[in-house]
Structure formats: C-alpha cells, structure tokens
C-alpha cells in the first residue's frame, strides 16, 4: 500500500498514513518515510499499535539509537526493567516505576520541566541526534500538546545581514544549562562529568534537504569567543525569531500517534497539563547523528 501524505502546515509537517509499524517495514516504505522526513521534518504516523520492541526495531532502520539507561534519574528510579525494559526507550511520562503519578517534589518530575522550553533533543551531545520518534500510549484529556518550529524556514527568512553575522559562529550546548532554567533539578558531580557540554555551529546544512537551518534553543548557553551577555542576547533574538507563529506547528496528541521529528532542523517544546491529576505516557527513541555537524558553507 502506497503512503498518503497530507500537509499539516504551510511550511513543514505532514501526516503520513498507510504504514503499519506493527509489521515488518519493507524497503520501499522505509525509504518513503525518509523522503517525507527530508521534505517535511515532522511526520505524524497515526494509529500505530506498537510495543517497545516494535518501536525500537523501526527506529533502528534509520541508524543507531541512544541508550536511555545512561540517564541516571531513569535508571536509579527503577524504571529500567519495570515499566521500561529496553535501554533504547526514553520514558517521557509523569509516572513512576509502578505507573503512579509522580509527586511535584520528585526529582524525575523536576528534571522533565525543562521539556517545556524550546529545544533540540541531544544537542548537548557532540554526536547529537537526527530523528526523535515519540509514541503516545496514554494522553491527558487536555493540554500536553507539542509545539514544533521549522528552523530551516526561520533561517531562510532571516535578513541577509543576520545570515552573514552568523557565519562561522559556534555555541556551547549543555543539558545542565537548560535544566537550571526550569524545575530546580540539581545534577550531581557524576552526572555533570557523564554529560559534558558540546559545541556546534549556529547554522548547519541539513543533509536530507540541503537547506541551511538554525541550531539553537534552550541547551545553547553561550556563543564561543563572544562576551557572555552579547552572545546570550543573540541567542535569545534568534530563538524569538525562529519560534514565531508562522514557523510553528502544534500537535494535539491522539493515542497511537507516532510523531517523528528531525532535530537537525526543528525545535520543539511540551506544553503544560494537570500532571498531578492525569497520566501522560509517551515512549521515545532517538537516532544518533553518526556523521556529525555539517556546518553551513
């Protein structure tokens, strides 16, 4: 069955129907999804009745996966082996290891509050991420939407003078910089050592489309070689520009949605919901960018 594609936004994002990921995915379907991702950067595959094993198997078609068991707050909480058995699955939920709602003073809840900031998954790693794949298992009756911003379209819309200004600039990205902004999560020295900062160009060329894209947001702490206040001001200006309504698609989740986004050319953020009243359970896999930065030329 051929895939059907329906645009969700004038600039990017599409719904891709006709794929059943509960079965083995053939080469034609695999390639068609990759082509859709290169074009739209965010793809929604609805009605996917899959378990963790199937999600991991499908994700691996596109490259090696990050290891979620390296995230200390997930491993120590006992979630690995109870609710989450596979090390490639990131638990994106407000639940503890027994499936109960997390308390507001729980370190895991505090850690996840920074997900409400605009970010690109794993930009704080030297080998950052290509795709993230998030599957909805339980959703709240309201709230908990995800906003996506197209940083290719944002770069295209920048004035020429700003494009020239950004040429050759690099920013440092740190997960602890973003975590310090929301939730009050304080990492241990061991956590800091295990997840050191990384440096990336502010503008990178997206391999799939050949277009240039901004690589910014909440993990980006400062611009290398610039005074801290000037660098921070530029990063804030770029983020405000890139997240204007004209560049943003809002996804309202349905159970069974698998949403794939390309971290190299999009930003995303979660939105609040009554997390002390309703469950929201999502499972994420993340594909490692083994080719590294492709800086703008």
247-251, 271-275, 293-297: lowest mean pLDDT where?
A: 293-297
> With 80 as the cut, is the pLDDT of residue 79 above it?
no
- The confidence band for 294, taking pLDDT boundaries of 50, 70 and 90, is low
In the chain, where the domains are located: 4-288
Provide the β-strand partners of residue 214: 203
Distance, CA of 20 to CA of 45 (rounded, Å): 9
Provide the β-strand partners of residue 210: none
Percent of the chain with pLDDT over 90: 77
Does the pTM exceed 0.85?
Answer: yes
For residue 19, the Cα-to-chain-centroid distance in whole angstroms is 22
> With 90 as the cut, is the pLDDT of residue 275 above it?
no
Mean pLDDT along residues 206-217? 96
Q: What is the pLDDT of residues 159-211, one digit of tens each?
A: 999 999 999 999 999 988 888 887 667 778 888 888 889 999 999 999 999 99
Mean pLDDT along residues 104-123? 83
- The confidence band for 76, taking pLDDT boundaries of 50, 70 and 90, is very low
pLDDT, greater one: 151 or 1: 151
Give me the CATH topology for the region 4-288. Answer: Double-stranded beta-helix (3.60.130)
192-227 burial by CB neighbour count: b if 16+ within 10 A, else e?
Answer: eeebebbebbbbbbbeebebbbbbbbbbbbbbeebe
6-10, 151-155, 159-163, 173-177: lowest mean pLDDT where?
A: 173-177
152 within 8 A of 265, measured Cβ to Cβ: yes
| Residue 184: per-residue pLDDT | 66
Give the closest residue to 124 by CA, choosing from 208, 207, 194. Answer: 194
> With 60 as the cut, is the pLDDT of residue 295 above it?
no
Specify the DSSP class assigned to residue 10. S
pLDDT, greater one: 60 or 72: 60
pLDDT, greater one: 105 or 12: 12
| Residue 195: per-residue pLDDT | 85
> With 50 as the cut, is the pLDDT of residue 88 above it?
yes
Helices (H) and strands (E) in the chain, counts: 9, 15
Give the closest residue to 256 by CA, choosing from 134, 145, 88. Answer: 134
Task: Compute CA distances 32 → 3, 17, 38, 107, 128, whole Å.
Answer: 8, 11, 10, 41, 24
Mean pLDDT along residues 260-280? 95
Mean pLDDT (the chain) is: 91
297 within 8 A of 166, measured Cβ to Cβ: no
């Amino acid at each position: 069955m051929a895939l059907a594609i329906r645009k969700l936004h004038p600039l990017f994002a599409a719904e891709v129907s006709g794929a059943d990921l509960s079965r083995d995915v053939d080469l034609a379907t695999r390639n068609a999804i990759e082509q859709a991702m290169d074009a739209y950067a965010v793809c929604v595959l609805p009605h996917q009745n899959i378990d963790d094993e199937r999600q991991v198997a499908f994700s691996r078609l596109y490259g090696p996966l990050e290891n979620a068991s390296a995230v200390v707050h997930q491993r120590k909480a006992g979630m690995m082996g109870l609710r989450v058995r596979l090390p490639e699955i990131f638990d994106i939920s407000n639940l503890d290891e027994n499936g109960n709602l997390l308390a507001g003073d729980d370190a895991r809840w505090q850690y996840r509050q920074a997900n409400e900031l605009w970010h690109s998954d794993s930009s704080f790693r030297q080998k950052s991420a290509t795709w993230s794949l998030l599957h909805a298992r339980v959703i709240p009756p309201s709230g908990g939407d995800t906003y996506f911003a197209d940083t290719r379209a944002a770069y295209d819309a920048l004035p020429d003078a700003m494009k020239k200004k950004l040429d050759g600039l690099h920013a440092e990205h740190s997960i602890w910089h973003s975590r310090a902004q929301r939730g009050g999560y304080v990492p241990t020295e061991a956590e800091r050592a295990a997840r050191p900062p990384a440096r990336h160009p502010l503008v990178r060329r997206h391999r799939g489309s050949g277009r240039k894209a901004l690589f910014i947001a909440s993990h980006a702490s400062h611009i290398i070689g610039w005074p801290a206040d000037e660098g921070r001001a530029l990063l804030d200006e770029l983020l405000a520009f890139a997240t204007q309504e004209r560049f943003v698609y809002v996804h309202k989740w349905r159970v069974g949605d698998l949403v794939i986004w390309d971290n190299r050319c999009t930003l995303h953020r979660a939105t609040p919901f009554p997390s002390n009243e309703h469950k929201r359970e999502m499972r994420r896999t993340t594909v490692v960018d083994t080719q590294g930065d492709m800086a703008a030329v």
